[in-house]
Amino acid sequence: MSGKERSPRHRPWSVYRANTFDLSAEMMGLALSGNSQDPDEPVLEFSVACSELVTPSLDRKPTSFVAISCTTPPQAFWTKHAQTEIIEGTSNPIFLCSVAFFQDSLITQQTQVKLSVYDVKDRTQGTMYMLGSAMFPVKELLQDKHHRLHLTLRSAENNRVGNITVIAWQIEENREQRAPVARLQRGDTVNGRMVLPVDESLTESMGIKSKSSSLCKDPLLKAVFGGVMSRMYRLPTTDGNHLRILEQMAESALSLHIPRQFVKLLLEEDAVRVCELEELGELSACWENLRRQIITQYQTIILTYQETISDLHEYKGPSFKSSTLKTERKLEFIPTNLHIQRMRVQGESGYDRTYDVVTIGAPAAHHQGFKGCGLRKLLHRLEEARKHTYEEESSAGSGSKGMAYQPQDVVKAKELIGQINTLKTQVCYYTERLSRAAKERSANALDRTLAILSEKTRQLVNVCDSKLLSSAILALASARPDSTLQTPSPSSSSLSPSSRSPSRSPCRHPTSPSRAATSPSRYAEGSKNKRSSLQADFHEEDWEKVCLNVNKSLECVIQRVDRLLQRDKLQSDSSSEDVFLLASEVSGNTKKDISPEVEKTSPGEWSDALYPLLTTLTDCASLMSDKAKKAMVFLLMQDNAPTIAMSLTLQYRRDVVFCQTLTALICGFIIKLRNSLCDSGFLRQLHTIGLLVQYEGLLSTYGEELAMLEDMSVGVMDLRNVTFKVTQATSGFAPDMLPVITGNRNGFNVRVPMSGAMFDTLPREIQNGMLLRVQPVLFNVGINEQQTLAEKFGDTSLQEVINKESTTRLSSYYDQFKEVLPEDCLPRSRSTTSLPELLKQLSQNANAKKSKNVEILWQAAETCRRLNGVRFTSCKSAKDRTAMSLTLEQCQILQQEHALAPQVFYQALDCMRSEGCRRENTMKNVGCRKYAFNSLQLKAFPKQYRPPEGTYGKVET
């Protein structure tokens, strides 16, 4: 290459970072009319084609590409800007890569552009020489009548070696127009500089809809994504027109933002568990030792989370984790190489479609290693260990049950804790609201709030009316140091709920209260100081008293409110004398149920009349909730004890995997929602049956990648515990536009803030805070040489199971759709294959025994797109195989949906693989613009997944 050409830090062909700066006055002189309306519009775009290329060796035709360099006075050197793809064996190449100057290019009319044509002798070795070059100023291209230049290529010896044509591009206004550019119209000048007219289809709908496709300027997407790279192509169609393709790739600030929040939630959750164990109160020596062991295990894992949070906040690197860092312990919660890949397709008829795919390195515990197994096998081993412990405990002693509970008991206990926490909070909240309504003397508010309080209190009592809970309360009571009950030990105890049954359900007999139950105030007052532990002589009858006191307290509140409302009504309808007479009669009927102090209460002092009763209700509900929760915590302690070390180690691995999967999901949800604000069909589908998310895996089922697939499959399925809620952002600042996670391992909720203008476009259901569900599926097909070994000597059963299960779930999702939604909610498709037929073909392929059946991936991806789903693609590092899959998918979409001319399919595919964004992704990850394949490996790849010569080699993965 020319000695005058140089690039800072020896960078490869310049990466475009679109729209980083505002248009300068000079750039405005180049701008297409109306271009400021479309943030992704380049300042200048042109294509090149060569003709009559001559090589020194007349017996061979050149294999050529064009390198584009530019310089703007007073700059004295050339800067590399772009290059085209390589076209083999022709003297008349027409290049599909167009050359785009975006707003950050800072070119002017005085900018000189140099076109250097190279002849590649050996693509594998990268040997080449410059055939010839030509130069032109930007002003000359703009001033030409048809914005087309025909230049002569001359060698270093000034010999003519061929011609090169430069054509400036724009979208045509009418379908009938075939010329690549429109004629410059009179008066089209800005500051005295000539400009090109632009198609009206790019300037209409300047509201939310048009802005939704910009990764660079949209407030929401700009807050979430950054480092945007762009490439442009012009591809011919079957009808003689051209497609304008904008390919973009961006990293995400969520790569760090989400793990920081997520690990903090895990830390808080485990700290709460330690507190719950500590609050169980005194236990006998054997149980106390067991509790100490479990707390020690939790404290160890808490310390690990604390270190992780510190490491994540100290990290100052880029907002994505490169594939070379996937085994780094400090960064193990961060997804590997997370990017959004976008293809925007514009046709000459005016349509504009966008396709997004989230790419992520296989969500797996890379730092912890695999040692032959991943999460699926580890979870199975844990279940087997618990089952074995249960069987041992069941057979120990004289037929007594062991301390290991059945799996359904453990699940029920966790549900009860969550329900009790929620209902207790709600009871306290509505008690406070009732007190406020009484203070304000609002009869309507008092009546409405009492109805809700009554419902929530009864729900709480019903939740505590559980055979499992009664059994656990007795077990905890028997574990006290001075218990008069038979004291079990951790090794042999009769704690299983199946071995005990309460004499009767305490909450089903509120008409037979105990003596303590008839005086809830006295009982609650005497129990305030006893919540730290249950009494040693606690029996079932005592638990009945606790539940009955809640019921009785609620009845007292209801009666008091009824009397207050009746007095208020009588006071407004009658004279004062009649009011007090009637009030006296009413109060006489219930005198035995209320204290004398309240009898003297003035009818106007509602707050004073209700305060002691509401305090009693709160105390009784809190006492019942605390005792119930402690019993469930004790039950879980018993269940966890035999396998606590294994359980926490496995849970940590699952947390790591889930965090990576969750981060990718949130990226996909945000960009899908943002782009679909004007798609009423999608929004209706979203709040009705949830969002379909489809992960595509390219992992082999051999060696470590088999264990990665186990991790990934569990992580994807755990997304079923995630819900989304869209909220209105408090401001337009980037930090206020970032998502917020709440919840725990039983369920996480992601709040997605949107600006007021965006929020107002959403359906009422979503605006009102409806939780939006997620329906995840995973399809995997190994394509490399290791998969060949797996199919011949190993085991592919895991892949088969995953694909069959996901096919069933995908069909189920479509069935749900058909039941409640019309077909017009789905995007239009030019495909001749209906969705039912497509699902049928997918099912047949998933059940077929076929080597590297990549049709599964193609059909699953198409089904996902046609069902308004979000696409994710993954291999070990999301760099090499992912690049092959993404570029193939892009070309398949162009052919199926946009009539790409079939004769250029593979040329377009090679063009995207050699000069597209995914080539730059390899540079970002390993510092080399080569895919990590070798010739021997690629022989095992399906032919559609093989990159062009010269783009791969032995590099770090």
Give the dihedral sign, CA 475/476/481/483.
negative
Residue (of 362, 219, 349) closest to 695 by Cα position? 362
Rounded distance, CA 522 to CA 527, Å? 9
Residue 744 DSSP class: E
927, amino acid identity = G
Which residues on adjacent β-strands are paired with residue 778? 695
**Buried/exposed code over 445-465 (b: 16+ C-beta within 10 A; e: otherwise):** ebeebbeebbebbeebbebbe
Structural tokens at position 371: 């040692």
CA distance 822 to 681: 9
* Identified catalytic residue from 556, 875, 891, 911: 875
Residue 218 neighbours by CB under 8 Å, 6+ apart: 39, 211, 212, 674
CB count, 10 Å around CB of 149? 19
Q: How far apart are CA 224 and CA 251, in angstroms?
A: 9
Work out the angle at residue 455's Cα, subtended by the Cα atoms of residues 452 and 457, and round it to the nearest 5 degrees.
Answer: 105
Count of positions (residues) in the chain? 957
Name the H helices within 479-601.
Answer: 520-527, 540-573, 576-589, 596-599
Q: How far apart are CA 324 and CA 955, in angstroms?
A: 11
Q: How far apart are CA 362 and CA 876, in angstroms?
A: 5
Say how far apart CA 33 and CA 200 lie, in whole Å: 10
Structure tokens at 250: 């961006």
φ and ψ at residue 343, rounded to 5 degrees: -125, 120
Run of H or E residues at 615: helix 606-640
Backbone phi and psi for residue 835, each to the nearest 5 degrees, phi listed first = -60, -45
Report how far residue 726's alpha carbon sits from residue 769's, in angstroms, rounded to the nearest whole number.
Answer: 7
Q: What is the DSSP letter of 31?
A: P
CA 825 to chain centre: 23
Return all residues near 746 (Cβ < 8 A) that are at least 6 apart: 414, 418, 721
Cα–Cα distance measured from residue 384 to residue 589, given in angstroms and rounded to the nearest whole number? 63
> What is each CA distance from 40 to 13, 196, 618, in whole angstroms?
20, 16, 59
Q: Do strands 225-236 and 242-252 pair parallel, antiparallel, or not at all (unpaired)?
A: antiparallel
Measured between alpha carbons, how far is 64 from 91 in angstroms, rounded to an integer?
A: 9
CA distance 336 to 364: 9
Taking the C-alpha atoms of residue 430 and residue 434, their distance in angstroms, rounded to an integer, is 6
**Phi, psi dihedral angles at 129 (to 5 degrees):** -145, 155
Measured between alpha carbons, how far is 434 from 652 in angstroms, rounded to an integer? Answer: 43
Q: Active-site residue 875, yes or no?
A: yes
Q: What is the largest CA-CA distance in the chain?
A: 122
- CA distances in angstroms from 570 to 440, 574, 610, listed in the order given: 19, 6, 19
The backbone region for 34, taken as left when phi is positive above 0, alpha when psi lies in -120 to 50, beta otherwise, is left
Q: Residue 128, SS3? A: strand
Cα separation of 75 and 748, whole Å?
54
Catalytic residue positions?
875
